[in-house]
Amino acid sequence: MLKVIAACGSGMGSSMMIKMKLQKVFKALGVEADIHHTNAGEAKSTAAQYHMIVCSEALKDTFAKAAEAGVAVVPLRNLLDEKEITEKLKPYDFAELEKRVHA
């Protein structure tokens, strides 16, 4: 199962909204995903436990080391835009992500 973390600055509202949108998009894509939400600091410190981090574009540099280690970092311009989320997720080979990162 794909392990995903939705991150925002405080770990409250925005990350929860991202999580809810991700649940809908992953379901539509037929991908089984375990999605958590938290603040950027906690997400950064636990990034190695996940296959993918979804965050705002403003936070993407926070996860540069995670990206170098093979964690997929998906920055969003509009956190609530399911079309954008879908477009950014479609190119990923989720099965390959699950193999690459041992969470």
Strands 52-56 vs 33-39: parallel, antiparallel or unpaired: unpaired
Catalytic residue among 2, 4, 8, 79: 8
Write out the E strands in the chain: 2-8, 33-39, 52-56, 72-76
Q: Is 55 a catalytic residue?
A: no
Q: Which residues are catalytic?
A: 8
